[in-house]
Structure 1
Amino acid sequence: MKSNGPTPGPLRAGVSHGAARVRRQRLARRLLAGALSLALLPVPPVFAQDATAPASSKFRGQPVTLNFVNADIEGVARAMSAILKQPFIVDPRVKGTITLYSEQPLAPRDAYLNFLAALRGLGFTVVEVGGLYKIVPEADAKLQTGTVSIGEVGRRGDQIITQVFRLSNENANNLVPVLRPLISPNNTINANPSSNSLVITDYADNLARIAKIIAAMDVPASGDIEVIPLQHAAAADLQPLVQRLADGGSATPAPVPGAVGNQASTVMVEQRSNSLIVRASTPARMASIRALVAKLDQPAAGAGGSGNIWVVYLKNADAAKLATVLRAAYQPGGSGQGGGQGAAAGGGGNSTYTPPAQTSTPQSPISSTGSSSSTGSTASAQSTTPVAQAASPSTGGFIQADPATNSLIITAPEPVYRQLRAVIDRLDTRRAQVYIESMIVEVDADKTGELGIQWQSIIGNSGDRNIIGLGTNFGTGTDNILGATQLALAGSTALATATLPSNGLNIGLATKFGTHYTLGLLAQALQSVAGTNILSTPNLVTLDNEEAKIVVGQNVPFVTGQYTTSTIGTSSPFQTIERQDVGTTLRIKPQIGANGTIRMIVYQESSSVAATAAVGTANAGPTTNKRSIESTVTVDDGQIIVLGGLIEDNYTDNHAKVPLLGDIPYLGALFRSDSRVRKKTNLMVFLRPIVMRDAADTSRVSLDRYDYIRGEQQNAQPPQNSVIGINGSPTLPPIRPESAKGPNDVPRPLGDMTPPSPMMVPSDPASAPPLSDPASAPR
C-alpha cells in the first residue's frame, strides 16, 4: 500500500496486485452485494450544490459501514455512487484494486473522504467538472479540475482544486521558491507579476495549510519612516556615511536580533529640503540613526550661528550682474527675507534659513547694485543700471557683489552655498565671441545724351528804327543762344566771357550787326558716362548676446536754427548747429544657439552728403543720402547671408521743340533739342558671422587679420627715389615667422578687391561670379 500522508483513524487501505483479474471481479461483486445489503434506509435525493460549497452540506444520509478488500476501483466507484447519490466517471487509465473498510458506521461525507484518501495513496484523485466527479490520475488532475477558489479555501480533504492568492505586501515571485517544496510534485504553483498573485493547484487540505503560511508572510514591512532635516551638512554627502554606519559598517547589512525578517535600514536623500528619509526595522535602530545624524550635522569650524560667509572670485562673468541674476532666481516673493528662504529651499538647504540682519538700511534681496534706497528696484531695472552706478558694492540680500575684485560674497549655510556655487560655476564660463565680416557694395552707372540746335536771325539794317528777330531758344540763363546774344550785344569783351554750355561739343556762328556781333547759330552735342563702384567692409567682434557698433564716416554739421540779436547800431547773427555722423554704421547683436546657428539683430546704415542740394533747399543746409537696413536673421556659423539690397533703374527723356516744325522728318532737328538720362543703382549688403569659442579661435582670426593688413602695407610701399631720399612707409612688425604659417593661413578678407576675392563684385553686377565657399574664411 502506498500513502502520501496519514489516513483517518478508522481507515486502513491496502492494495493487492498479484490476484487475477477474474478473481478480483468476482470478489468485487460479492463485496458490492454485501455493501448493498448493509445499506440502511434510503436517503433523500442530493441536489447539485455550488462548486465552492463544502462537502459536509452536499453528502447527507444514514451512516454506512465500508468493507471492501482488494476490490476493483471501478466497482468501488459504483458503490460510492450509490451511497452518495452522485455519479462517478472512471478514467480508462485508472486500473487496480483498492481496500476500504471501517469498523464502525460512517457518515456519507466521511466515507467519501476515506475513498479520496485511498485513491490518493494509489496515485489517483477525484476532480469535479460541471457537477460530475471524475476519477483521474493525479498528474492529470491539474488540467481537468473545475473548482477554482479566490481567497479563503472552502474545501477540505484530498480533492484537487485551484486556489488564487492575491498578495497585498509581499512580492509573489519571492514566495514561489518558498512554497514550491510544500506542493505535490505533480501539482503546480505560478506567480502573476502584473496582479501580484499566486495560482496554486493542489489538494484542498494542503492548500489550507499553504494559505496559513501565505497569510503569515504577506504582512507589511516592519519599521517606521522618519524625515530628518539637516541644518548644516548636505544630505547628499551625509547619506552614504549614515547608510554604511547603520548597516554595521559593511557592505552586507548586519542582522538585527528580534527584527522581523532582519530587514536592513534604508536612508534616502531629499535634496529639495536637504533632508534624510530613514526607514528602520525597529524603534531602537531609528533612535540610533537619529542620534548619529545629530552628531554629524554640525557647522564647519569657525562658522557663526547664522551661517557661513563665502567669497567666490569670478573668472568671466560680471559680479554685479551675476548677483542680480542669483537674487532674482532665488526670490519667490518680494519681501526682504524671502530671497534667503527661497534660496534655501530651492538650493537644497534648510528652508527655514533667514539671511543675517544687515547693518545698513534693509533692502529687497534684488535691489539695484550700488543703490542705498530702502525700496530697492526691480530686476529689470538692474539690467539697465549704468556701469558707473554699479561701481560700489551692492547691499541687499545675502548675495553681495564686490565690483573692485569682481567677486561674490555669499552669506548662507553650506548646503545653500553648494547649490549656489553649482549655479555660479555654470554661469561663470567663458562666453563665445562672434567675428562678423560685412560687405556693403554699391554700383552706380549714369549715361547722359544731349543733342540740339538753336539759331537766331535779325531782319533789318543797323540804322533802321525797327528790326525783326527770329530763331529758336532752348534752355535757361546763358546756356541758350538768346542769353549768349545779349552778352554779345554788350561788346566784344562780354562775348569773350559769354557762358556757353560747358559740356559736349558746341558750334556757334556769330554775325556782325553794325558794330556788334550776334550769335546766329548754336549747335550742342553731348554724351556722358559715369560709374561708381563703392565697396565697404566693416568688421567687428563682440561677445555672445552683446551689442557691437562700428561707425566709419564724418561728423557733419547741420544748421538747426538761426536768429539775430540787435543792439544800438549793431546786429549779431547767431546759428545753432547739430553734428551728425555721415558714413557707414553697423550695429549687430548676435546670439549663438545651442545647435550652432547664430541669430543676429542687425542695423546697417550708409549715408553720404549729396553733391547738389535739392531745389529750394540750398539755404537749408546739406542734403544727405541715406540707405539703412534693420532686420533679424538666423545664419549658420561661417555662412554668408544677404541682408537686402536695392536695384534701381531710372530713365529720363526730355524733348524741347518748336510745334509742328520740330516734327518734320530730318529738318525737324533744326527746331528741337533732345536730352536722355539713364541711371542704374545696385546696392547689396552681405554678412558672414564666425564663432570663436576659445582662445585658439580668437588668436587664429586676429593673426589672420594682422597678416592681411601688414601685407597691404607692404604692397603700398612707394617706389624708390634716390633724388628725394625719403623711401619706405611704416609697416607693422611680424608677429610670427613665415615658416610658422600653415597652408590655410593665407589672409583672404571678405571684401578683398584683388583676385581671388571671395566676394568680389565687378562693375557690371550681372556678370558677378558666385560666392566662394565660406569654409575658406578664417575661423
Structure 2
Amino acid sequence: MKISRGVGVRPAMRRTGGLLCALACLLLSACESIHPDIVKGHTVGEAERAAASADAGREAVTQPAQDTTPERAPRPTAFYEPGTGIFVGTPVEQVRSVGEGNITLNFENTNLREVVKVILGDLLDVNYNVDPAVQGAVTLQTSNPLSKDDLIPTLELLLRMNGAALVTQGGLYNIVPRDSAVRGMLAPQLGNSGLALPRGFTVQVVPLSYIAAEEMQKILEPFTSPGNVVRVDTVRNLLILAGSGPELSRLLSTVRIFDVDWLAGMSVALFTPDFVDAETLSSELEIVFGDGGESPLSGLIHFVTLDRLNALLVITARPQYLEKVSEWVERLDRDSGGAGQRLFVYRVQNGKAADLATVLGEVFQSEGGSAVVAPPELAPGLAAMEISSPPRPPEGGAAAPAVVEGPRATVPSLVPAAVFGGEGVALTGGAPIRIIADEINNALVILATSLQYKQVEAALRRLDVSPQQVLVEATIAEITLKGDLKYGMEWFFSNQIGDKQGIGQLDLGAAGIGAIVPGFSYQIIDKAGAVRAVLNALADDSRLNVISSPSLMVLNNQTASIDVGDEVPITTQQQQATTGVSTVVNNIEYRNTGVLLSVTPRVNVGGLVIMDVEQEVSQVSTESEAGSLTPTISKRSITTSVAVQSGQTVVLGGLIREQKAVVRSGIPGLYNMPIIGPLFGTTSDEQIRTELVVLITPRAVHDSTDAAQVTEEFRSKMQSLRPLSIPKEEKSDKVEDGEPQRSWPRVGPDEGVTKPTESRTAPSGTVSEVAQDATQPAAIDWPDDALLLSRGSELTAD
C-alpha cells in the first residue's frame, strides 16, 4: 500500500532519509563498540617487557656474578584482591521490526494535522485528538516501505521536530504541545520493570544500583534532546526521565551501560613493608609509576599511606598494574647494607623527657633483654664495654670480626616485653635501642633503626599529649557552735535542712528582711548550694570565720599545695658537754603551722574528679610558754580521698575544738573603766566550741577554651567586689502611698549608730572585741561563689 501526498519525490528528501538512517546506525554501532575493548583490556608494555626480559637474560650470560646472596622469598601482602576490570555494562540490542513493510509515505510541505490524520486515522485506525496549539508543516519521503510498527516512532519524530508530542490515555492518542505533555497527563512507570515502553511520550522512573544519580545525570546530558526531562532524586538515588519512545529507549540503554559495580572492577592491595616506612615506599612508587605527573599512567594507580598500620594501600583500575606494583614493592622493601642504627632526636612537647624515657624503658623490657635509658649505670664489680659494628669487607675479601672491648659478657637483644593496649605498638626484633633523656633541652635522643624509631615515635605520639588541668577552689571556714549549731554542723544539716531541695526566697517586704537589706535573695540549687547559703547566713550572725579561700590550678595527677602561716622553731635534739665548758647545743627544726592544703586531682573521661586531700589547720597552743623552743602545737587535719563531678562541691567537716574563754560584757565605754568598770558589766567563763569546715570545688579544664572561660569568670568576680560610689550629698525624699519616705545612703560595716560591745578574754589574757549592731547587722563577708543573686544599695527609713 502506498500513500502519496503533495508533489512528487525530491532528491533532497531521499538524501535526508538516508542521513537519518545512517545516524541511527552510527548510534547503535557506537553503543556496541564501547564494551568489547574495555572488557578485553590491553596489557600495556607487554612487548617491551618481553624485550627487557630477553636483554636481561643476555646480560646475565655476559656479565660476571657480583652477588650470590639469594633473595628473600616473596612476602604475602596483608590484602590482595584483583578486580574484574569491567566498568561498563553490555548494551541492549535494539529490537527491529520483523518482516517487510508495505507502507510508503511521501509528504511535501504538508500540514502537520493532515499528517496525523493519515497515520493515526487512515493507516492505524485509532482514536486521536489534536490540540489547537499544535501547528506545523512536514516534508517526508520514505525510500523503503515501512511496517505498521514503524509508523508511531516516525510520527513521534515528526512531532518532535514541530514541538509536539504524542500522549496516550487509554485508547485515545493526544497530540499536544511538548511543553505541556508531562503536566497532568502522564503517570510514571518503573524503568527497570522489564515491560515494553508504551507508545508516545512517557515518564520513566529508573532506580540506580551502583552509580550516583547526579553522576548519571552528567553522563546523559550530551544524549538528551530538547524537550526531554532528566531529573534526579538524590535521597532515593532515582533518575526520572521523560520523552518519546525512541528517546527513552536510547537513554535507558545508556543507563544500563554505566550503572555497573564500579568497586568490583577496581583492584586493591594492602602492603605492609618490613624495612621501610609506608610513606617513604609510597613516594618511591609514585616516582616509578608517575602518579600525579604527566605520565600516561597518571590517575590509573593511587597510593594511600596508612600511618596507624604502617601500610600502603594501592588502588588501580587494571589488575595487571597491581602485579607490577607488587613486584616493585619487593624490590624497594629491602634493608640496605648501610641501613643500620641511626640517631634520632624527639622534641618533647607536653611532658618531661626523663619521664618518657623511663616509661619507654619499662615498656620495651623483657626477660633476657632491656632497653638502655640514660644515664646508664653499672652494677658494682662490673666494667663497661664497647661493641662496634664490623666494618665492610673489601671486595673479594673476608669479613672482619666484630670488635669487643672490655670483659666478655653476653649482650642480649631487645625484644618487647608486652604489646601496648588499644592502639599501642610492639617492637619486633632488631638491635638494642638506646633512649637517652636530654633534660636541658627536654628532648629524647634515640639510637635505633628507621623501622624501630617509627614504632617508638608512634608510642611517643600517644604518650606526649597535652595534660588536663584542674581548677581547685577551696573555702576553709571555722564556725562557732552555739544556738542551733551547738551539736555541730552535721547534726544541723541532718535535722534542720535535711535533703530538701528547691528554691528558697526570704520575705523582701517592708516588714521582713527588705527593711534591713533590700533586694537580698538566694537560691538553693543542691546540697552544696544549701551549705553555702547557710554559711552566708552564719556570717550575718558573726558565727563564721573564713580562714582561707584559695584557688589554684594544677595539672592532672599532680600535687598542688598551699601553705599560709608561720614556721615555728622546735628543738629536736640537745647536746651538752660533760667535761670542760658546759656548752649546750640545740638542733632546731622549723615546723610549718597555719593553713596547709595539699590536693592531688585525677580526672577521668566522664568528668569525674578523684582527689587526694590533705588539709591541716594548726597553731601554737596558748598554753605554751612564751619563747619556749618546745611549744605545743594545736592541729586539726583531714586526710581523705573523695570523688566528685567537675563543678560540684564536696564538704568536709566535723573537726570540733573546745576551749575556755573569759567573757566580759556591759555598757560600752563604762565597763572597761578601772575600778568602777565591774559595776557596769559582768564577767563569765564560757566554753567556746568551733568546727572546721572545708568546701572544695574542682573544675576540669580540658583545653585553652575552658581555661579562658575560667579566667574570665574569675575576672568578673573581681569586678563585682568594687564598692558602689554613692555621693555624700545624695539624699532625697520620696513619696510612696501618700507618706514621705526618706532615702539614706547604705550604711557600711564601720558606720552607723552606737553599738554595744562585747569582749572576750582568752586564757592567755588577750582581749578581743566583737561589735554587735542593735539595728544594723554586721557586714557579711560573702564568698566569691556565694549564691547571691541581688543586693540592695540603699536603706529606707521612715
On whether the aligned pair clears a TM of 0.5, the verdict is: no
Which has the greater radius of gyration?
Answer: 1
Q: TM-score, normalised by structure 2?
A: 0.43
Task: Give the number of the structure with larger relative contact order, counting CA–CA contacts within 8 Å between residues 6 or more apart.
Answer: 2
